[in-house]
Structure 1
Amino acid sequence: MSKTDHETTVGKTAGDTAAKGAATPVPNPKPAMGARPAAKPAPKPKGTFKDGGEKDGERVAKVLARAGMCSRREAERWIAEGRVAINGKVLETPAVVVPPGAVLSVDGVAVPDPERTRLWRYHKPAGLVTTRVDPQGRQTVFDNLPEELPRVVSIGRLDLNSEGLLLLTNDGELSRRLELPSTGWPRRYRVRVHGAPDPAKLAGLAGGITVSGVNYGPIEAELDKVQGANAWLTITLREGKNREVRKVMEAIGLNVNRLIRISYGPFQLGILEKGKAEEVKASVLRDQLGRWMDNREEEPPKPRAAARPATAPKPPAGPKSSTGPAPRHAPAPRRRPA
């Protein structure tokens, strides 16, 4: 959004008569009869990305994320693999925008227009990887989602042996926002460990810890109960780095043998059954995300209609059709490991 310029007077005092005269605007003289008017300055050229394209549209990775196809980082991998095209031309770099009217496709299937932002709570069972396609052929979360869910992306991850609350959304931009540590949302876990927890070491985690050169922020760790050689802890953190709980526990002499995420920010696992998903009400989502959701609703992304062929005749002017909106593109099919 451009800023409004304001007129200012600088370097003069109210009592300086010379300054007053200098500050008085002088009207432009009228041009002589027959003289050509002064040429207007040329408009400032639009900025360009490194592929030479104008910044008229949205970055391709952002469009894919907003449509719930993938994260921005995954979109860059898809482009590197030659899977993404605009108007049939395969992209070679993510530094490209999708102009209005262009057709964006992945693996030859048109990307669907984005819907309203939605969020689901999902109870992930142990034994599933949180990735869309696993090179080792293991079962993934996305292979086991309820059929009624649209194409979604996860907010953060839970590793193969972890279970509990996993948030899913059809909006990759929401996923990116809620994964950032700056959001400040705590992740809470119930953790069973093998070994005897040292209360002093647990308390020391509140100041952060460095493990193998990686700095982890403050962690709240409370001892709930001891069961023979095992103990149950409640652990709260705000960063959620890769395998953070397991690595930190190992650093203080404890081996994690069960890990259950019970909450992510204000959203709770509750009594949701394993393998089940439940949508968060739009009113709740709006209450929790506040201004971000308001901006989402006020400025919905424009649909990308298919471009007309150059030889197509211009349609005659007339009243708008009342037959309803055109059907949406079908989403890209889910991939299952061979």
Structure 2
Amino acid sequence: MTVNGHVLDSPALNVEPGDHVTVDGRPLPAPAPLKLWRYHKPKGRVTTHRDPQGRPTVFEALGPEMPRVLSVGRLDINTEGLLLLTTDGGLSRHMELPSTGWLRRYRVRAKGRVTQETLDKLQSGIKIKGIRYGPIEARIDRVQGANSWLTMGLREGKNREIKHVLEHLGLSVNRLIRISYGPFPLGELKPGQYVEVKRRVIAEQLGTKTAEELGISKSHKRGGPKRPTPPA
């Protein structure tokens, strides 16, 4: 291995952006450019590259034009809606941090009844079976037969948080749809569709400091799909 023409005699070397690295005389491939997509995850797909149980995955459903991507967080197999996909691990980790303060908003259908007064108490957080859940925004949208439709927003996203909290209140979730992640909406995407987020929009939403750390420029122009890509 060589770095900038010098043969390495020790593995302990920090490589900087812009360094020329070769292995067996061949240059390392350039990293994939930072990109972000909004994807409408259908119910019935797991958010993993390989599933030991052989269940269909989110990534298997993407078109051949897509590079290798990571998900920003996960949605379980029965949850639908917005899943953000990116080529950049640093961006994914940053967007998953609770410290970003980004609200993840969901539409929820649950069997049972609950009062708005009870839901309002969730704004102070709740402890269930030793697990502390942070503040949750929740409102009743409508009651339909045996089901209640709610809109809920949270910032932490612990594993199956909404299901556990509503079960504690006596409701059983039978449909869960994420409709936004911070400033990024599900919009009109149909299940299986995805659309690339403009680089300028990513930079604006992350803020100047974080965008610069990730190497994103508002003025950088690049092509990209203008319409949602249909399911593969």
Provide the residue aligned with 2:192 in structure 1. Answer: 275
Residue 202 (structure 2) aligns with = 285
Residue 223 of structure 2 corresponds to residue 297 of structure 1: no
CA-to-partner distance for each residue in 1:195-225, whole Å, 9 max, x for gaps?
Answer: 0113232111101011221111000010000
1:115 alignment partner in structure 2: 32
Number of residue pairs matched?
A: 204
Q: Which of 102, 109, 123 matches 1:185? A: 102
Cα drift, residue 102 of structure 1: 5.4
Which one-letter code corresponds to 2:149 in the other structure?
A: W
Relative to structure 1, the CA distance from residue 111 to residue 246 in structure 2 (aligned partners, 3 Å threshold; closer, same or farther) is farther
**Whole-angstrom distance in 1 between the partners of 2:90 and 2:148:** 38
1:155 correspondence with 2:113:
no
CA deviations over 1:124-144 (Å, ceiling 9, x no partner)? 000000011000000000111
Distance 1:115 1:198, change over 3 A: same
Q: 1:169 deviation in Å?
A: 0.2
Identical counterparts, % of pairs: 56
1:134 maps to a residue whose letter is: D
TM-score if structure 2 supplies the norm length? Answer: 0.82
Distance in 1, Cα, partners of 2:88 & 2:28 = 13
Is 1:101 the counterpart of 2:21 in the alignment?
yes
| Helix, strand or coil at the partner of 1:223 | strand
8 Å CA contact retained: 2:179, 2:187: yes
Contact 1:57 1:100 in 2 (8 A): no
Question: Per-residue deviation at 1:296?
Answer: 2.8
Query: For the structure 1 residues 193 and 111, does the alpha-carbon distance in structure 2 shift closer, same or farther, using more than 3 Å as the test?
Result: farther
Corresponding residue of 2:220? none
What is the TM-score when the length of structure 1 is the normalising length? Answer: 0.57
- Aligned CA-pair RMSD: 2.3
CA distance in 2, matches of 1:263, 1:112: 34
Higher relative contact order (CA 8 A, sep 6+): 2
Question: Equivalents in 2 of 1:284, 1:146: separation in Å?
Answer: 23
| Unmatched runs of 5 consecutive residues or more in structure 2 | 1-9, 218-232
Unaligned runs of 5+ in 1: 1-51, 64-98, 105-109, 300-338
Alignment match, 1:93: none
For residue 12 of structure 2, the aligned residue among 54, 64, 75 is: 54
- In the alignment, which of 133, 136, 145 is matched to residue 50 of structure 2? 133
8 A contact 1:146–1:277 mirrored in 2:
no
Contact persistence 2:90–2:214 (CA under 8 A): no
Identify if the C-alpha distance between structure 1 residues 135 and 111 changes in structure 2 by more than 3 Å, giving closer, same or farther. farther
Structure 1 residues 1-338: aligned runs within 5 Å: 53-57=11-15, 101=21, 103=23, 112-291=29-208, 292-297=210-215
Q: Which has the larger radius of gyration?
A: 1
- Residues in 1 aligned to 2:47 and 2:130: alpha-carbon distance in whole angstroms: 26
